[in-house]
Amino acid sequence: MSANLARQPSHSLNLPTRLMKDAIPLHDADLQRIARILDQDAGIFVSMEKNSLVHSRLIKILRTLNLSSFKEYCDLVEAPAGKELRREMLMALTTNLTRFFREAHHFEHLLKEALPPLIAKAKLGERIRIWSAGCSNGQEPYSIAAIILSLLPEANNYDIKILASDIDCNMVAHGRIGMYSEEIAEKMPDNLRNKHFQKVTTENGIQYAASERLKKLVSFRELNLNAVSWPMRGKFQIIFCRNVVIYFNAETQKTLWNNFRDMLCGPGYLYIGHSERLSGQSVDKFESVGTTTYRLKTH
C-alpha cells in the first residue's frame, strides 16, 4: 500500500460509487466553459450563481460517461466529435416547466379577443397561423388547439395551423406523440380532458392520449430560437413565447423581441411570460392590451 493511500481515512475507501461521483466539484473555470457553450449554441445566459443547478443536472451525465471531473466532460463536449454531447448538455440544462392553460388570462384573451376575428377570416378561406415558441412537451399548443375547436369544431377543415417549436428534441417528440400521465391529466380542466383526450392503459400506467382532431391542428418542429435565421416562410397572427426569452442574455432578448415582431402580421398578438418584459426597438412597435399581452401596432 502506498504511503499516500495509507494516510487516507479507512471509510473513504468504501464510499458508494454514486456518492463519489456526486462529490465531484464543479469549479468556476468549468462552469464558465459550460456557460460559454450554452451562450454560443443557444444564447442562454448562465450566471456563476447557478453552480448547484448546473451540477445537479449534469452529474448524471458524468456518471454515465464514467468521468471523474467536469474538466474531462468539458473537454469531450468541446471536442470535434462532441456534437451530440453538446446537444445532450443543452437539453439537460433547459427548463421544461409547463401545464395546460398555464397563465389563464392569456387563454381568456385568446378566446374572447384574438381568435374570434381570425375564425371569421378562416371561414372566408384565409390562412391562419399561430406559433407556440418554446412549446415544451405540447401542453401549451394543445391548449390553444382546444380553444380553437371550442370556437370552430370543424377547424380541421380550414387552413388553421399551430406551429409548436422547441429546442429540446425530446420535448418535441413527446408533444408529437401527445400522451400525458394521469398526474398531468388530473390538472386539466374536466371538459378539456373529457372532450379531447382518451384514457388508455400502457406499460407506464394510465395515460391520456390527445385526440386526432387536436393533433391535426398542431405541427411540432425542433427549433433553436437563437439560430441565425428561422425557416418559417409565412407570418403569424399570434405568437406565444412565454418564460423562454428570460433565459437569454440581454442582447439576445432584444434580438428575439425584434424577430418576433417581424414574424407577426398586424395587428398580431404576442403573449409573453409573467417575468418577461419587452426590450429594444420592439417596445415602440407593440401596445399593451392586457397582462403580458401585446398587439402589434399597424401605424
Catalytic-role residue among 57, 63, 176, 213: 57
Q: What's the whole-number mean pLDDT along residues 203-208?
A: 89
Taking a C-beta distance cutoff of 8 angstroms, is the pair 22, 68 a contact?
Answer: no
Q: In this structure, are 137 and 62 located in the same domain?
A: no
C-alpha cell, 66: 464514467
37 & 129 share domain: no
pLDDT tens track for 253-283: 999 999 999 999 989 999 999 889 999 888 9
- What pLDDT shows up at residue 7? 34
Cβ atoms of 41 and 77 within 8 Å: the answer is no
Give a yes or no: residue 186 inside a domain: no
pLDDT at 22: 57
Contact 274, 292 (CB under 8 A): yes
Does residue 229 share a domain with residue 144? yes
Closest by alpha carbon to 114, among 289, 231, 286? Answer: 289
**Where among 51, 66, 93 does a domain terminate?**
93
Cβ-contact 267, 295 below 8 angstroms: yes
228 is a domain residue: yes
Q: Confirm whether 185 is domain-assigned.
A: no
Name the domain boundary from 43, 63, 93. Answer: 93
Of 194, 270, 275, the residue nearest 238 (C-alpha): 270
Average pLDDT over residues 129-155: 96
> Which residue range(s) make up the domain with 7?
3-93
Does the pLDDT of residue 6 top 50, yes or no? no
Separation between Cα atoms, residue 133 and residue 224, nearest integer Å: 10
**For residue 289, pLDDT beyond 60:** yes
Residues 56 and 143 both lie in one domain:
no
* Residue finishing a domain among 49, 73, 93: 93
Read off the CATH number of the domain in which 238 is found: 3.40.50.150
Residues 48 and 14: their CA atoms lie apart, in Å, by: 33
pLDDT of residue 10 exceeding 60:
no
**Rounded to an integer, what distance in angstroms lies between the CA atom of residue 280 and that of residue 221?**
28
Q: What is the DSSP string of 230-286?
A: ----S-EEEEEE-SSGGGB-HHHHHHHHHHHHHHEEEEEEEEE-TT----GGGGGGE
- Tell me: pLDDT of 186 over 50: yes
In a domain, 58, yes or no: yes
Which grid cell sits at 56?
Answer: 445537479
Mean pLDDT taken over the chain? 88
User: pLDDT band for position 50 (50/70/90)?
Assistant: confident
* 200 belongs to a structural domain: no
How far apart, in whole angstroms, are the C-alpha atoms of residue 165 and residue 169? Answer: 9
Q: Which of 127-131, 170-174, 209-213, 247-251 has the lowest mean pLDDT?
A: 247-251
Both 141 and 278 in one domain: the answer is yes
- From the candidates 166, 168, 242, 261, which is the catalytic residue? 166
Asked if residue 152 and residue 80 are part of one domain, the reply reads: no
Residues 114 and 167 in one domain: yes
How far CA 31 is from CA of 40, 115, 158, in Å, comes to: 14, 45, 49
Answer for the pair 106, 242: CB distance below 8 angstroms, yes or no: yes
* Greatest extent of the chain over all pairs of C-alpha atoms, in Å: 86
Q: CATH no. for residue 35?
A: 1.10.155.10
Total tally of structural domains belonging to the chain: 2
Residue 166 a catalytic site member: yes
187 within some domain: no
